[in-house]
Protein backbone atom coordinates (compact mmCIF):
# COMPACT_ATOMS: atom_id res chain seq x y z
CA UNK A 1 0.00 0.00 0.00
CA UNK A 2 1.32 3.41 -1.01
CA UNK A 3 0.99 6.29 1.47
CA UNK A 4 1.12 9.94 0.38
CA UNK A 5 -0.23 13.36 1.24
CA UNK A 6 -1.78 15.49 -1.50
CA UNK A 7 -3.68 18.73 -1.85
CA UNK A 8 -7.21 18.69 -3.24
CA UNK A 9 -7.24 20.69 -6.47
CA UNK A 10 -10.09 21.82 -8.70
CA UNK A 11 -10.18 22.27 -12.48
CA UNK A 12 -11.37 25.79 -13.26
CA UNK A 13 -11.65 25.05 -16.99
CA UNK A 14 -10.67 21.75 -18.55
CA UNK A 15 -13.31 20.63 -21.04
CA UNK A 16 -15.58 17.93 -19.61
CA UNK A 17 -13.60 17.97 -16.34
CA UNK A 18 -14.39 21.64 -15.58
CA UNK A 19 -15.25 21.99 -11.90
CA UNK A 20 -13.94 18.55 -10.91
CA UNK A 21 -12.16 18.23 -7.57
CA UNK A 22 -9.23 15.82 -7.59
CA UNK A 23 -5.81 14.98 -6.23
CA UNK A 24 -2.82 14.64 -8.52
CA UNK A 25 -0.88 11.36 -8.31
CA UNK A 26 2.62 11.62 -9.88
CA UNK A 27 3.64 8.87 -12.31
CA UNK A 28 6.32 7.58 -9.87
CA UNK A 29 3.66 7.01 -7.19
CA UNK A 30 1.20 5.46 -9.67
CA UNK A 31 3.98 3.06 -10.74
CA UNK A 32 4.26 1.89 -7.14
CA UNK A 33 0.53 1.11 -7.12
CA UNK A 34 0.42 -0.53 -10.58
CA UNK A 35 3.78 -0.66 -12.37
CA UNK A 36 4.09 0.79 -15.89
CA UNK A 37 0.40 1.62 -16.29
CA UNK A 38 -0.38 4.35 -18.81
CA UNK A 39 -4.13 3.78 -18.78
CA UNK A 40 -6.65 4.35 -16.00
CA UNK A 41 -7.09 1.77 -13.27
CA UNK A 42 -9.02 1.27 -10.04
CA UNK A 43 -7.66 1.69 -6.52
CA UNK A 44 -8.86 0.99 -2.99
CA UNK A 45 -7.68 1.96 0.47
CA UNK A 46 -8.20 5.01 2.66
CA UNK A 47 -8.46 8.74 2.14
CA UNK A 48 -7.84 10.18 5.58
CA UNK A 49 -9.98 7.74 7.63
CA UNK A 50 -12.59 7.07 4.92
CA UNK A 51 -12.50 3.63 3.28
CA UNK A 52 -12.65 3.77 -0.54
CA UNK A 53 -13.03 1.01 -3.14
CA UNK A 54 -13.09 0.97 -6.93
CA UNK A 55 -11.96 4.59 -7.34
CA UNK A 56 -10.63 5.41 -10.78
CA UNK A 57 -7.12 6.80 -11.29
CA UNK A 58 -7.24 8.62 -14.62
CA UNK A 59 -4.16 9.40 -16.73
CA UNK A 60 -3.24 13.04 -17.38
CA UNK A 61 -0.97 13.42 -20.42
CA UNK A 62 2.54 12.20 -19.53
CA UNK A 63 2.52 13.76 -16.08
CA UNK A 64 0.75 11.15 -13.99
CA UNK A 65 -2.81 10.52 -12.87
CA UNK A 66 -5.69 12.27 -11.15
CA UNK A 67 -8.01 10.75 -8.57
CA UNK A 68 -11.39 12.51 -8.87
CA UNK A 69 -13.13 13.22 -5.55
CA UNK A 70 -16.91 13.46 -5.85
CA UNK A 71 -19.02 15.69 -3.64
CA UNK A 72 -20.31 12.96 -1.27
CA UNK A 73 -16.71 11.84 -0.61
CA UNK A 74 -15.49 15.41 -0.03
CA UNK A 75 -18.43 15.93 2.32
CA UNK A 76 -17.56 12.82 4.36
CA UNK A 77 -13.92 13.98 4.46
CA UNK A 78 -15.08 17.50 5.39
CA UNK A 79 -12.51 18.83 2.89
CA UNK A 80 -12.58 21.04 -0.19
CA UNK A 81 -10.06 22.41 -2.72
CA UNK A 82 -6.87 23.54 -0.98
CA UNK A 83 -7.13 20.99 1.85
CA UNK A 84 -4.41 18.38 2.30
CA UNK A 85 -5.46 14.74 2.64
CA UNK A 86 -3.60 11.52 3.38
CA UNK A 87 -4.05 8.72 0.86
CA UNK A 88 -3.27 5.05 1.48
CA UNK A 89 -3.91 3.31 -1.82
CA UNK A 90 -3.38 -0.02 -3.55
CA UNK A 91 -4.46 -1.51 -6.88
CA UNK A 92 -8.05 -2.81 -6.72
CA UNK A 93 -7.76 -6.03 -8.72
CA UNK A 94 -11.14 -7.28 -7.45
CA UNK A 95 -13.20 -4.35 -8.75
CA UNK A 96 -16.14 -5.36 -10.93
CA UNK A 97 -19.37 -3.70 -11.95
CA UNK A 98 -22.14 -6.24 -12.49
CA UNK A 99 -24.94 -5.76 -14.99
CA UNK A 100 -28.23 -5.15 -13.14
CA UNK A 101 -30.88 -7.84 -13.72
CA UNK A 102 -33.46 -5.36 -15.02
CA UNK A 103 -31.04 -4.06 -17.65
CA UNK A 104 -30.14 -7.57 -18.77
CA UNK A 105 -33.83 -8.54 -19.02
CA UNK A 106 -34.66 -5.42 -21.08
CA UNK A 107 -31.73 -5.94 -23.44
CA UNK A 108 -32.40 -9.69 -23.75
CA UNK A 109 -35.90 -9.02 -25.12
CA UNK A 110 -34.17 -8.45 -28.46
CA UNK A 111 -31.10 -10.63 -29.02
CA UNK A 112 -29.22 -7.99 -30.99
CA UNK A 113 -29.51 -5.42 -28.18
CA UNK A 114 -27.77 -7.56 -25.58
CA UNK A 115 -25.16 -8.52 -28.17
CA UNK A 116 -24.62 -4.82 -28.99
CA UNK A 117 -24.24 -3.91 -25.30
CA UNK A 118 -21.75 -6.71 -24.67
CA UNK A 119 -19.75 -5.73 -27.78
CA UNK A 120 -18.84 -2.29 -26.40
CA UNK A 121 -15.77 -2.00 -24.15
CA UNK A 122 -16.34 -2.91 -20.49
CA UNK A 123 -15.44 0.63 -19.42
CA UNK A 124 -18.21 1.98 -21.69
CA UNK A 125 -20.70 -0.59 -20.35
CA UNK A 126 -19.85 0.73 -16.90
CA UNK A 127 -20.90 4.27 -17.92
CA UNK A 128 -24.39 2.97 -18.67
CA UNK A 129 -24.56 0.75 -15.57
CA UNK A 130 -23.33 3.43 -13.16
CA UNK A 131 -25.72 5.97 -14.66
CA UNK A 132 -28.63 3.53 -14.36
CA UNK A 133 -27.69 2.62 -10.77
CA UNK A 134 -27.45 6.30 -9.77
CA UNK A 135 -31.19 6.82 -10.40
CA UNK A 136 -32.82 7.79 -7.11
CA UNK A 137 -36.43 6.96 -8.02
CA UNK A 138 -38.10 4.08 -9.85
CA UNK A 139 -39.57 6.35 -12.58
CA UNK A 140 -36.08 7.76 -13.28
CA UNK A 141 -34.61 4.26 -13.41
CA UNK A 142 -37.33 3.14 -15.82
CA UNK A 143 -36.74 6.17 -18.06
CA UNK A 144 -33.01 5.40 -18.10
CA UNK A 145 -33.63 1.74 -18.96
CA UNK A 146 -35.73 2.85 -21.94
CA UNK A 147 -32.99 5.28 -23.03
CA UNK A 148 -30.30 2.57 -22.82
CA UNK A 149 -32.39 0.09 -24.83
CA UNK A 150 -33.05 2.79 -27.45
CA UNK A 151 -29.33 3.69 -27.54
CA UNK A 152 -28.35 0.06 -28.15
CA UNK A 153 -30.94 -0.24 -30.95
CA UNK A 154 -29.47 2.87 -32.59
CA UNK A 155 -25.88 1.85 -31.75
CA UNK A 156 -25.29 5.11 -29.85
CA UNK A 157 -22.41 5.53 -27.46
CA UNK A 158 -23.16 6.92 -23.99
CA UNK A 159 -22.40 10.55 -24.88
CA UNK A 160 -24.55 10.47 -28.01
CA UNK A 161 -27.42 8.96 -26.03
CA UNK A 162 -27.24 11.74 -23.41
CA UNK A 163 -26.93 14.54 -25.99
CA UNK A 164 -29.79 13.18 -28.10
CA UNK A 165 -32.04 12.99 -25.05
CA UNK A 166 -31.09 16.51 -23.95
CA UNK A 167 -31.88 17.85 -27.42
CA UNK A 168 -35.22 16.01 -27.35
CA UNK A 169 -36.08 17.55 -23.97
CA UNK A 170 -35.28 21.09 -25.19
CA UNK A 171 -37.69 20.91 -28.11
Q: How many separate helices (H) and strands (E) can be counted in the chain?
A: 7, 7
Q: How many CB atoms lie within 10 A of CB 61?
A: 5
| pLDDT exceeds cutoff 80 at 163 | yes
Q: Which residues contact 31 (CB under 8 A, 6 or more apart)?
A: 37
Domains of the chain: 2-91 (2.40.30.100), 101-170 (no CATH)
The predicted-structure confidence for 106-156, as pLDDT tens digits, reads as follows 999 887 999 999 999 888 898 899 999 999 999 999 999 999 999 999 999
What pLDDT sits at residue 100?
A: 94
- pTM value is 0.64
For 15-25, b/e burial (b = at least 16 CB within 10 A) is eeeeeebbbeb
Q: How far apart are CA 143 and CA 138, in angstroms?
A: 9
The predicted-structure confidence for 40-82, as pLDDT tens digits, reads as follows 899 999 999 999 998 989 998 768 999 999 888 999 999 988 9
Q: What are phi and psi of 33, to 5 degrees?
A: -80, -50
What pLDDT sits at residue 28?
A: 92
Angle, helix 158-170 to helix 138-153, in steps of 10 degrees: 110
Pairwise pLDDT comparison (125 vs 95), residue with the higher score? 125
What are the CA-CA distances from residue 5 to residues 24, 80, 87, 119, 167 (Å)?
10, 15, 6, 40, 43
pLDDT category at 14 given cuts 50, 70, 90 is: low
Q: How far apart are CA 127 and CA 42, in angstroms?
A: 15
pLDDT category at 96 given cuts 50, 70, 90 is: confident
What pLDDT sits at residue 63?
A: 83
CA 53 from centroid of its chain's CA atoms: 12
What pLDDT sits at residue 170?
A: 82
What are the CA-CA distances from residue 129 to residues 4, 17, 101 (Å)?
32, 20, 11
pLDDT category at 88 given cuts 50, 70, 90 is: very high
What pLDDT sits at residue 16?
A: 62
Amino acid sequence: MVILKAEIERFSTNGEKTGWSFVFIPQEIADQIKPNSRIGFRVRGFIDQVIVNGMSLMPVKEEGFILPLNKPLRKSLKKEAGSVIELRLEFDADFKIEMPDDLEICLADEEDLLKQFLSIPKSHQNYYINWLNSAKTEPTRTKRLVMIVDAMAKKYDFGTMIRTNQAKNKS
